[in-house]
Amino acid sequence: MISLREIRERSIKFAKEWEGASHEKQEAQSFWIDFFKIFDVSPRSMQFEYPIKKIDGSYGYIDVFWRGQLLIEQKSRGKDLVKAKEQALEYLPNLKQRDLPKFILVCDFVSFYLYDLDTNQDYKFLLHELPKNIELFSFIAGYTKKTYKEEEPTNRKAAELMGKLHDKLLENGYSGHQLELFLTRLLFCMFAEDTGIFAKNSFREFIENQTDESGRDLGSQISYLFELFDTPNEERQKNLDESFTQFPYINGSIFTEQLKTAHFDRSMREMLLDACAFDWSLISPSIFGSMFQASMDVSKRGELGAHFTSETNILKAIKPLFLDELSEEFAKIKNNPKQLQIFHAKISNLKFLDPACGSGNFLVIAYRELKLVEFEVLKSLKILTQLVHIDQFYGFEIEELPSRITQTAMLLIDHQMNLLFAQMFGEPHFNIPIKDSANIFNVNALRVDWEKILDGVKIDFIIGNPPFLGSKMQSKEQKEDMAEVFSGVKNGKELDFVTAWYIKSAKYLQGKNTKVALVSTNSITQGEQVGILWQEMFNKYKIKIHFAHKTFKWNNDAKGVAQVYCVIIGFAGFDIKEKRLFEYESVKSEPHEIKVANINPYLVNGDDFFISSRRKHIQSFIPQIVFGSMPNDGGNLLFDDKEKEEFLALEPKAELYMKPLISAKEYLNGKTRWCLWLKDCPPNELKSMPKVIERVENIRKLRNESSREATQKLAKFPALFGEDRQPESDYIFIPRVSSENRDYIPMEFFTKDFICGDTGLAVPNATLFHFGILTSKMHMDWVRYVAGRLKSDYRYSNEIVYNNFPFPLEINDKQKDQIEQLAQNILDIRAEFVGSSLADLYNPLTMPPKLLKAHETLDRAVDKLYSKTLFKTDTERVAHLFELNKQLTSLIVENEKKAKKVKKIITK
């Protein structure tokens, strides 16, 4: 590609040569041939006197037409250029959609009038002013000011064009590896002709002019073109037609493999030309890669854009991992040439790895940002020598297609950065023939030795977004991967799939200064996963968290796609004095950074700490919690209001055994559910109820046919719930799953005649005081940090959440009475809203102000039981609770040790 400096010099010469010309229209072709020579563009790309039908049905001629790019209307000196522009616009409706130009240019040899059809902007200047306006025409040489574009619609449209062609080729039997590589090559060619790797529009014009409209020879012509891309110029045949020799030698692995010839028909040729007409310079390699991958799968076509990682989220990982530090270092030394040279050499030696690179979006953005830092260095040093290259970047990817897309995406972003370099410094610098390429390995990162694959290369930064898959969603192969990575780790196989990359990264870190940042599902910082994963990370691998983004919502509004809640955790095998913690007021808000001394596995500013499962509460005087009863009955013992009424009409004696069943969903939404509770039903009474016996027999049969041995044993007791844990006293009901949108989990007192179902937990013998503590903000903050999640909803557990929650240690009767009064007030206010469900009462949008104020009053009173100092944030509350838990745990351990000593003495 010609440099902008050279273009400007040629434009000066052009303006001088044509300054004194006769300006007659017959000179137009010579004028425009010379004009395009400024940009090194062959006149063969243009069509002169192109016939076109006008709006009124008559025919006219476009003076100069460059398909999809430029329409020129030439007039004699002194003619009305505005009228000439209107004439040019009349031609547009009769052009094919893909042939529509981006610009209209009208000229009378002295005056130029350029009209941008995309932005509706126009530019007017005289011939002698052409040099200072020449950058308006830089698109002719392949330059674009839009280096990348993140907007989803642009990238979606490009992916959909490729998807249509994919479907047609697949339909005709061109499939698998051949098809994927073929389409990757086409993508490269279309991008190349829009960004200056090839001459502008040259690939499209090759198809238009060198292949038959029927499409019958298109496949073979493209195959030969691909072969040429892998053939150095000196090895090509001497008698090649100019239509082939115009294309450069590409080199690199992208065109090395010989593919079977793809056969096209007329419609497929049209599809490819439509794809060529798209402006591929507008796509973002970081986003398009994942969309392109999805477009190859018809089942995922409707979700294009649903799973890509936004640039904003990628930067949340990249900036604190390395970019902020490099930017700060540059700012300090930018006026010191010697230090800048050292810094330049340093960034050129950095190595980056994405061990689950997918379509390459993290590597693409990381490379782009590193190049931008380098460009600042070059500007400060006033030099043009680039040292940062894409071969500093490494990736592991298990699937072939995304690994190829990553390789291509890195070449595309490399070229885009070279275009930006040319615009900034006036000198073109291109990696064609390809000399450098990213190191992308098509391997299973969980099964290979990273050291061996990297072959001695020391990675400085590991970054990425490994797949999120809960243990129940993992395939057989993925479970085997987990078993290998977590060999010897108790319950390791139950963790989310993403955790395997944490362990593999931690292993790689040993003895190195490498830093890691991984985007992950927030479940790895909640519930039982914390103790399993992070004890291994901290105790075995001595990992320290350097920075973290607490839970935020993945930026994605695609319909029908489950919302994803993520964290980003940066860690290394060594400690640093000051850590960075990014907090979010809500999961949708912007992060707020705080500097902290330590970040623990719950992403809280506090000591490293693990909550372990406990069968009993950490404080022996607190009421124990139990699971609700599980019917395991195939629905035979359960009824809604209508079903209950119909059943009792047939079996009225069963009314004595019909009990209200408290299930979370119905409880929260004000619905009533019932069950047959036959625990105390005498045999003779049971026998006298045929409709009940019929259902009991159904249960016996169902349990006998189960594949589970435990369920088969339950067939001996078909009249009973499969698991009976019903309290023998009144109890507090806690739903096991509750919406994340609620500020408080709705809880309620029930008598023992209300059967607690298995979607809830029961706290028997609980008092108003216990209710007040459990329904407070103090307890809710504990839930938010410690509980696991079901999707994004809170999953309340007995052994992790309740049994580890520290109730206040020292209170007096007056304080206890106050909490009970405030708790009763909440129950009384609820009772006032007879027609409202708990879901309505605790929906933040519909919660009565009176109820909210009652909760806030209780919250303040509960806070004072824990500390005389006011808690300012939820983080402060949780840090305090962690410390209390730690103290209580130490006491338990100490008492257990004493008990063991006593036992030894007694048994001697």
What one-letter code names the amino acid at 747? M
Residues 6 or more apart whose Cβ sits within 8 Å of residue 585: 592
What global pTM score does this model have? 0.79
Q: What is the pLDDT of residue 609?
A: 84
Helix (H) / strand (E) containing 644: helix 641-650
Res. 151: pLDDT tops 70 = no
Q: Residue 136 to residues 3, 139, 282, 527, 864: CA-CA distances in angstroms? A: 14, 7, 17, 59, 68
DSSP for 26-79? GGHHHHHHHHHHTTT--GGG-EEEEEEE-TTS-EEEEEEEETTTEEEEE--TT-
Distance CA 485, CA 499 (A): 9
How would you classify residue 191: left for phi > 0, otherwise alpha for psi between -120 and 50, otherwise beta? Answer: alpha
Work out the number of other CB atoms within 10 angstroms of the CB of residue 623.
Answer: 18
Q: What is the pLDDT of residue 1?
A: 65
* pLDDT band of 147, cuts 50, 70, 90: very low
- Residue 97 burial (CB < 10 Å; 0-12/13-18/19+)? exposed
Place of tokens 């409706």: 93
- Residue 571 burial (CB < 10 Å; 0-12/13-18/19+)? buried
Res. 72: pLDDT tops 90 = yes
Q: Which residue has the higher pLDDT, 78 or 514?
A: 514
Res. 150: pLDDT tops 60 = no
Q: Residue 885 to residues 538, 598, 801: CA-CA distances in angstroms? A: 19, 18, 12
Q: Residue 221 to residues 208, 218, 272, 434, 574: CA-CA distances in angstroms? A: 12, 5, 14, 23, 57
* pLDDT band of 6, cuts 50, 70, 90: confident
Give percent above pLDDT 90 in the chain: 64
Q: Which residue has the higher pLDDT, 457 or 590?
A: 457
Q: Residue 268 to residues 9, 100, 156, 592: CA-CA distances in angstroms? A: 43, 20, 20, 51
Is there a contact between 132 and 261 (Cβ–Cβ < 8 Å)? no
* pLDDT band of 908, cuts 50, 70, 90: very low
Q: What is the pLDDT of residue 621?
A: 92
- Residue 173 burial (CB < 10 Å; 0-12/13-18/19+)? exposed
Q: Residue 366 to residues 311, 313, 321, 341, 410: CA-CA distances in angstroms? A: 10, 12, 10, 21, 10
Distance CA 363, CA 344 (A): 20
Q: What is the pLDDT of residue 495?
A: 92
Average pLDDT on 693-703 reads 96
Q: Which residue has the higher pLDDT, 908 or 2?
A: 2
Whether the upstream peptide bond of residue 718 has omega within 30° of 0, thus cis, is no
According to DSSP, the β-strands at 579-584 and 544-553 are parallel
Work out the number of other CB atoms within 10 angstroms of the CB of residue 375.
Answer: 17
Per-residue pLDDT tens over the stretch 752-804? 999 999 999 999 999 999 999 999 999 999 998 898 876 668 889 999 999 99
Distance CA 358, CA 405 (A): 8
Per-residue pLDDT tens over the stretch 814-845? 999 999 999 999 999 999 999 999 999 999 99
Distance CA 522, CA 599 (A): 15
Residues 6 or more apart whose Cβ sits within 8 Å of residue 13: none
Per-residue pLDDT tens over the stretch 622-673? 999 999 999 999 999 999 999 999 999 999 999 999 999 999 999 999 999 9
Q: Residue 648 to residues 635, 660, 666, 700, 770: CA-CA distances in angstroms? A: 16, 14, 21, 22, 38
Q: What is the pLDDT of residue 293?
A: 66
* pLDDT band of 111, cuts 50, 70, 90: very high
The 3-state DSSP class for residue 519 equals: strand
Is there a contact between 547 and 320 (Cβ–Cβ < 8 Å)? yes
**Which tokens sit at 356?**
């689950």
Is there a contact between 167 and 300 (Cβ–Cβ < 8 Å)? no
Work out the number of other CB atoms within 10 angstroms of the CB of residue 142.
Answer: 25
Per-residue pLDDT tens over the stretch 551-564? 888 754 444 445 67
Nearest residue to 607 via CA among 891, 879, 800, 803: 879
Q: Which residue has the higher pLDDT, 1 or 364?
A: 364
According to DSSP, the β-strands at 515-521 and 461-464 are parallel
Res. 451: pLDDT tops 80 = yes
Q: Which residue has the higher pLDDT, 439 or 160?
A: 439
Per-residue pLDDT tens over the stretch 523-547? 899 888 999 999 999 999 999 999 9
Please list the residues that pair with 545 across neighbouring strands.
Answer: 571
Nearest residue to 462 via CA among 476, 478, 451, 475: 451
Distance CA 248, CA 246 (A): 7
- Residue 618 burial (CB < 10 Å; 0-12/13-18/19+)? buried
Least confident of 28-32, 42-46, 208-212, 377-381: 42-46
What one-letter code names the amino acid at 423? Q
Q: What is the pLDDT of residue 899?
A: 57
Distance CA 110, CA 128 (A): 8
Res. 714: pLDDT tops 90 = yes
Q: What is the pLDDT of residue 297?
A: 64
Write the DSSP symbol of residue 757. Answer: B
Per-residue pLDDT tens over the stretch 339-351? 999 999 999 999 9
Average pLDDT, the chain: 89
Nearest residue to 148 via CA among 289, 318, 321: 289
Residues 6 or more apart whose Cβ sits within 8 Å of residue 826: 775, 851, 854, 855, 858
